[in-house]
Structures are given as structure tokens and as C-alpha cells.
Chains A and B, each alone.
Chain A
């Protein structure tokens, strides 16, 4: 009898709700929902050896350039820039990367641009585009940044000229991060 009285009051929180994205976590970023231009995506990376500590990051694609405009920009920076493989064109993304430690003891730097798998272009079907050797315009998104710093710069890819909706991926298992956090997806188009 007592239990029956209690019963209506027992609305229990489901613990494994952790599996569902919180409204403030990475803005529900996923391969099906890549972030649009100028959308600031918050996420986390883990730095350390075995005993990792969480560092907060925010990534915003602030500008994208494709095709002839991208080629012009590359040529202006590096006149020797080769034309992309047949059927491909260059796609540039200017990315703002914000990096923050949580506590005074979080002092490990993060390397941007040193790993070829850190920023990768995927087709609209999410197939990885072959990497091409092309130098991004200055300022490139490259360098070691300390907690509290941010860096804005260009990354460069070659994508199919027929693909109107390529996607850029940030792999958090790079740059010295030992943990494997959430892979983030960004639209490489307007």
C-alpha cells in the first residue's frame, strides 16, 4: 500500500542519458550534422600520458573558399602551387581554434597542423579524399599553442569539383592529445 502511494512520485532520471548529446555539447555535431560556417563548436581534447586531463576547445570555420578563388589565393601565397589532380579543385577553410586548460595545473601545449590526419576532407558521402601536397595560405593553422591561446589560420584540401557539400573533420587524437575524443565535422561549403 505504501509503495503504491510512493509510485506516482517516482520519476527517475535515466542514468545512461549520457549517451545522448547534451544541448550544449558540441552543438550535436556529427557526420549527419556537420557544423555550418561561423558556428562555434565546443568540444574537449585530452592531453597527457595515460593520466590525461581534459582541455576545452572551440572550433569555428570562419571562411571557406573553393575552386578558382582558392587557386588564386594559393598562387598569390605560393606561385609554384600545382594545379589539383584532374577532377579536383582546392577547398580552403579559415579556422579559428581556441584552446583552454581547466585548472592552473593544466599546462600542456597542443600542436596544430603537424599531423596530416588532424584536418581531413571527406566527400558528401563521408569518404575520405586523398590528401594532396599543398601549402595552405598564410596564416596557416599551424603551430604549438598554450592553454588560453587561440589561433586562426587556413587549412587546404583538394575535393572533387562535382562535390558541392564536402565536409572537414577534426580528429582529436592528434597534436599531442592522447585521448580520443569526439571527431568533429564541419561544412566546407556555405
Chain B
């Protein structure tokens, strides 16, 4: 609003900020770049960056900022501009299957695994899985919130469904996932992962595996649906191009299938509602629910402690990028054991966990600098907690929701209703063991499959 400004951005985000500046109609915005990364890098290195040059222009960084703030705007600087995309043809020229497969892989249209070539005939077959029109608009998707959104139709989603080998009867589930517009390949440097849980009659209709090995590579529907989300993200959501629209330093193997599984509704203890019912849908509806996180642990451990206490202990010490949310995936045997210990609903169990887990001291102090200052100044109860050392557990839960319906922090999840905890519970598996899984996944939203039939 008339105040000279020069954004200072790390060089890795040049493509992103260029896109944003175009979208805002100011393509020639003056931007200065530093080398990347700067997060968690030594201070003396960052000082060198500031004293050094913009890696894009070679100009001294501070001089460039000063010049950007003081130099009058030229006509070129002030010229408006908006992103324009050239239309592309719907069909590729004919070629041999070998050449076309090679082309798809070279273009990054795949996840590196084999695909089915999406011929017009195969796509037409896939479209029979829905009553929606091929040119109907399904959603928009982007690699991360600041990126440009891409829009896609039913036919475009069908192309990707063919590529992963989906049957037409899976297609409404895939469309429902696509309708949420959430990329599975989020363009963070932190290597996000996603999870999709399917509930309702569609699970049996399409033969999803709710039993032994539900989370493994054992079922066509489980595998194709999860995999398709990633291809949709790459090909329709502009995501997943390493170094450009994907910046996860190590990447995440969960992106191959997005932990796609159905909930074993038949195995829920009495009183435990299926996930989709928890989220406000009718039990007779078919629904996909999406989650976002980073890591997932399989807890294969026998203990003399009851399961709910083992889970509580794990949750207290579990540490990943997402430290304030968790999703537990319990085998039906474990769910039954937990329910038998006095937890009549998933929500009751989540509440117990949230209210009875503290935070490891070293983690608490690293994330609560204001509390640390008070502790160092002798203010109680912080000072007492600090005295116990970094290995002690601070009695502050990481899993109680502290903000309004939009969540309060970077990883606060949305439930659409006033959920007091950030813990979700899903039940799946075949009951061959009392093991369970969990990770730092937060609920991201649900979509009706029936609306896409």
C-alpha cells in the first residue's frame, strides 16, 4: 500500500514466487534471493549469505535490497501481467506402445512404476463407472497453497485411473478423492505423506481388503485407489516435480500408495462409530477421508501393560515433524482390548490419550521458547519442569486442540466440528496379532463417494 518492499526469499523458491508475482499481476516485482536452505543452518553461514550475493543475479544482496527499496519504479517494473497458459491438445499423436510408455515416464507422468496406457477406449470404459459427464469439473489442485491451481475434469481423472489399472467400479472413489483438491505430493521441503481411508458400502462393493494385510500390497482396489491419488497429484495438480514443484529433501515412500485402506467396520467394538460417521456422514454413505502427516510406525511389541497404556506411552514419546497430531490405526483385536478397558467410543479413547500424555522435556523446551524464558526466570511451574532435565516429561499435552474451528497452528487439523483432540482412531486389519500402527497424521477432510457414482 505504497510502502517500498523487497521480499527476501531463498533461491529454491524462485519458481514459486515468480508464479505468485504473476498471479498478483506484478510479474516484475523486485525480489532478492539468498542461497537455500537457511532453516536450521549455522548462524555464521546465514551471515555469509547476507554479506554475499543474490545467487540469481550475482549482485551483492544488501545492495540489491537497498536498490530495490529506493530506486524509482520504471515502466517495466510497473507493467502488469497475468499467467496465461496455452491450450494443449487432448490427444497425443499415435506411436508404438513402447515409445509412448517411454514418453510417459520421461515426462514424469508416472510414479516410476509400470502403467496402463490411457487409450480413448480404456478411458471411455473408465467413464462408465460414473454418471458424471466427462467434461464436468471435479476440482482444483496445487503443490502447496501459494502455487497456481490446476483445474481438472472427470475425463482427466479417468485418464489417471486407467493408468494405475483401476476398474471402473473404483472410479467414484477416485473421483471423490480428486474432488477434495488435496495434493498427495505437497511441495514442502519436509516430505509430507498422505493417507486415505475408505468407509461405507463401497468397500465391499469393490472388494477392498479390510482384513489381513489391509495396509499392504495385497488388493487391487486398495493399491490402485491409493496410487491413483499420487498420479492425479502429479498430472492434474502440478505436483511432484523434484526441484520445482516438489521439494521434499528425502521424499516419502508413503507417497506411492498413500496408506490407502478401508476401515474394518465389521471389526469395530460396540459403540465405536466408523470414521465417516464420526465426521458427520450417514453410516449408509460411502466416504473417503483424507489425512496428512509425515511418518507412520508399525508397533510390533508385546507388553504386559494393557494396550491403551502402551499406546499412551508411545504417543507421549513419539516424535516426528508433526508433533501435535496423531492418527492411530488399530487392529480390530487391539480396538476390542482398548474398548474393554472402559473406552466406549473412539472419542473417549482419544480424550484419554490427549489428557494423559505429556511432552518430552527436550521437545517441549525446543518448541516453547516463551515458556523456556519464564522457566529460566524462575517462573513456576516452568522452572520446576526445567529443573527435571530434558529427559523428563513435561505435563503438557500435545494433542489437545487449543484453537477454534480453523485450528491454531501449522499442522492443526480440521474436523468441521468441535473436536477437543487432534487424535484420530481408525480400525483395520485381520486380527492375526495385537499390533497396531500410528503416525503424525491429521484429518484433512472427507468426501462422499456416492456423489460421484
Contacts and interface: CB of A to CB of B under 8 A. Distances in A.
Interface of A: 3, 6-26, 30-32, 42, 44, 46, 48-54, 102-108, 122, 125-128, 169, 176, 178-183
B406 interface: yes
Contacts of B444: 48, 51, 53
Given A14-B90, A179-B142, A105 B80 contact: no
Nearest to B410: A50
Contact of B95 (A10, A16, A26): A10
From B78, B148, B414, residue with most partner A Cβ within 10 Å: B414
Contacts, number: 207
B221 interface: no
From B123, B153, B281, B416, residue with most partner A Cβ within 10 Å: B416
A17 B181 CA distance: 17
Contacts of B451: 102-103
From A6, A32, A52, A169, residue with most partner B Cβ within 10 Å: A52
- If over half of B's interface residues share one DSSP class (helix, strand or loop), that class is named, otherwise mixed; here it is loop
Given A21-B87, A50-B145, 8 more contacts: A13-B118, A24-B153, A25-B153, A48-B406, A50-B412, A106-B416, A128-B80, A179-B142
B245 interface: no
Contacts of B137: 22, 24-25, 42
A53 B279 CA distance: 14
B91 A183 contact: no
Nearest to B133: A24
B119 A107 contact: no
Contact of A181 (B109, B140, B182, B407): B140
Interface residues of B, number: 80
A18 B235 contact: yes
A180 B20 CA distance: 9
A18 B442 contact: no
B135 interface: yes
A8 B93 CA distance: 10
A6 B160 contact: no
B92 interface: yes
B94 A11 contact: yes
Contact of A20 (B88, B121, B279, B290): B88
Contact of A22 (B20, B120, B153, B446): B153
B82 A30 contact: yes
Contact of A46 (B145, B236, B415): B145
Interface of B: 20, 23, 25, 78, 80-82, 84-92, 94-98, 100, 109, 117-121, 123, 135-137, 139-140, 142, 145-153, 155-156, 159-160, 179-182, 235-236, 238, 279-281, 290, 292, 405-407, 409-417, 442-448, 451
Contact of B84 (A32, A52, A103, A106): A32
Contacts of B89: 14, 17
Question: What 4 pairs between A and B have smallest CB-CB spacing?
Answer: A51-B444, A20-B87, A105-B416, A126-B80
Nearest to A12: B92
Given A44-B139, A50-B410, A180 B146 contact: yes
B82 A9 contact: no
From A48, A105, A180, residue with most partner B Cβ within 10 Å: A105
From B86, B140, B160, B417, residue with most partner A Cβ within 10 Å: B140
A104 B281 contact: yes
A21 B414 contact: no
Given A22-B153, A108-B406, A183 B136 contact: no
A182 B151 contact: yes
Nearest to A3: B96
Contacts of B148: 180
14 contacts: A11-B119, A12-B118, A18-B235, A19-B150, A25-B151, A49-B410, A51-B182, A53-B414, A102-B179, A104-B280, A126-B81, A176-B406, A179-B145, A179-B181
A126 B25 contact: yes
B117 A12 contact: yes
From A6, A7, A104, residue with most partner B Cβ within 10 Å: A104
Given A15-B109, A48-B406, A126-B82, A54 B153 contact: no
Nearest to A32: B84
B88 A14 contact: yes
Contacts of B406: 48-49, 108, 176
Contacts of A18: 150-152, 156, 235-236, 238
Contacts of A108: 405-406, 414, 416
A107 B410 CA distance: 20
Nearest to A51: B444
Contact of A16 (B25, B88, B290): B88
Contacts of B279: 104-105
A108 to B, nearest CB: 7
Contact of B446 (A54, A103, A183): A103
A22 B135 contact: yes
A15 B160 contact: yes
Nearest to B81: A126
Contacts of A179: 142, 145, 149, 181
A79 to B, nearest CB: 28
Contact of B92 (A13, A25, A53, A102): A13
B121 A9 contact: yes
Contacts of B82: 30-31, 126, 183
Contacts of B413: 51
Contacts of B179: 54, 102
B95 A7 contact: yes
Nearest to A26: B151
A136 to B, nearest CB: 20
Nearest to A172: B149
B328 to A, nearest CB: 18
A108 B220 CA distance: 36
A51 B117 CA distance: 32
Contacts of A46: 140, 145, 181
